Structure 1
Amino acid sequence: MPAPDGAVPQRLIVAITGATGAIYGVRLLQVLQGVAGVETHLLISPAGVMNLQHELDISRAQVESLAGVVHNVRDIGATIASGSFRAHAMVVAPCSMRTLAAIAHGLSDNLITRAADVTLKERRKLVLMVRETPLNLAHLRNMTAVTEMGGIVFPPVPGFYQKPQTIAELVDHTVGRVLDLVDLPEIGQSLTPSWGGLNPGAADAAT
């Protein structure tokens, strides 16, 4: 949605690639849809489209309807390909090992990897929800390279300490953590409250 009073919106680039876990990108878009002052820019790779259909039984058009702006991954001349475009952060959800490798080696061979390269060079936040297991040495080295560049490697590992009862709760916990990382804590906290400790109030009682 537009930012209030004509202010520049907080622009978040969301890319969905060919790793399993398309639900993370979709849920991120669902949560941000209609949020005042937040503008989502969506990219979906061809393999990402396949996963949306296979894992979630939804079409590309259905996912695109959740975003503020949709870009073609082949449109290397799009706004988000330039550092002069004031995007706040980028999340690749999920991030395939192929996309990770391209980002780690600076291969701006499509708009997803170019936008990620721009995010890194402009010292903005890049969160890669990498999804693969087990990991080989190439995967680990690529994760190290991206981390050394300033990116954040965020495997969507579920947390069980809040005793989730459904898959949706597991997904929301992870998406909430990602929203915290890209400086949207109020939205993130609505999905996954802060950990209160095993004995809430114990510290206050001790004082």
Structure 2
Amino acid sequence: MSAATSRPRLVVGITGASGAIYGVRLLDRARALGVETHLVVTSAGVLNVHHEMGLGRAELEARADHHHSPGEVGACIASGSFSTEAMVIAPCSMKTLAAVAHGFGDNLLSRAADVTLKERRRLVLMVRETPFNLAHLRNMVAATEMGAIVFPPLPAFYHRPQSIDELVDETVERVLQISGIGQASPKAWAGL
């Protein structure tokens, strides 16, 4: 938990890749768990959230405790002195993956990711693009070698989900768990 608050802090990035529902559900679930969220959404992310979910920027930003513009490179989340549990980029475009993999912190989203890595905190990248080309794969390897967790939102089926919502929610629980949010409760495999 952060030093200034008893609530865990989570940075959430949303890019223009398909899968906006993951970022939105992540914000909603984090709020339900009492996690303080800091949102950065790219302009393509805003467009995609509107296209896929019918939400405008204000509706999206209202789901977070704090929101920051990608151009706001002086925001608190751009500094390692601002303590957080983790950062999740959900969904993570291949452009953002490349920026993270090569340390190209030209906006707040990629800068916050770079800070997360340099501070040895958890960075979870929910990459969304298939099939992968060699550049995508190499960027995933580079990000992993730097300490990021590449987490494509591939659903599990052992809990026999009955809807897309159940698939998304279970993935979000796993992402919160791997981000170090102790209150997360994904369904565990009980064995055969």
Q: TM-score, normalised by structure 2?
A: 0.95
- 1:96 is matched with which residue? 93
- 2:123 is matched with which residue? 126
1:193 paired to 2:163:
no
> Match for 1:24 among 12, 22, 25?
22
- 2:12 is matched with which residue? 14
Q: In the alignment, residue 170 of structure 1 is paired with which amino acid?
A: L
Instruction: Please tell me whether Structure 1 or Structure 2 has the larger radius of gyration of its CA atoms.
Output: 1
Distance in 2 (CA, whole Å) between partners of 1:92 and 1:103 is 11
> Match for 2:65 among 65, 68, 71?
68
Runs (4+) off by over 6 Å: none
Distance in 1 (CA, whole Å) between partners of 2:159 and 2:7 is 33
- 1:111 is matched with which residue? 108
Measure how far apart 1:9 and its partner are. 2.8
Distance in 2 (CA, whole Å) between partners of 1:185 and 1:179 is 8
Q: In the alignment, residue 21 of structure 2 is paired with which amino acid?
A: I
> Match for 2:147 among 150, 154, 159?
150
Q: In the alignment, residue 124 of structure 1 is paired with which amino acid?
A: R
Unaligned runs of 5+ in 2: none
Distance in 1 (CA, whole Å) between partners of 2:28 and 2:158 is 25
- 1:162 is matched with which residue? 159
SS across alignment from 1:126: strand
Q: CA RMSD in A?
A: 1.3
CA gap of 1:107–1:168, structure 2 versus 1, over 3 A, is same
Post-superposition CA distance 1:32-56 (Å, at most 9, x none):
11533x2100011000011101111
Q: Which has the higher contact order (CA 8 A, sep 6+)?
A: 2
Q: In the alignment, residue 105 of structure 2 is paired with which amino acid?
A: S
Contact persistence 2:159–2:187 (CA under 8 A): no
SS across alignment from 2:95: helix
Q: In the alignment, residue 53 of structure 1 is paired with which amino acid?
A: H
SS across alignment from 1:33: helix
SS across alignment from 2:183: helix
Q: In the alignment, residue 195 of structure 1 is paired with which amino acid?
A: W
Unaligned runs of 5+ in 1: 199-207
Give the count of matched residue pairs: 190
- 1:205 is matched with which residue? none
Measure how far apart 1:8 and its partner are. 4.1
Distance in 2 (CA, whole Å) between partners of 1:193 and 1:129 is 19
Measure how far apart 1:150 and its partner are. 0.5
Distance in 2 (CA, whole Å) between partners of 1:12 and 1:60 is 19
- 2:177 is matched with which residue? 180
- Identical-pair percentage: 60
SS across alignment from 1:186: coil
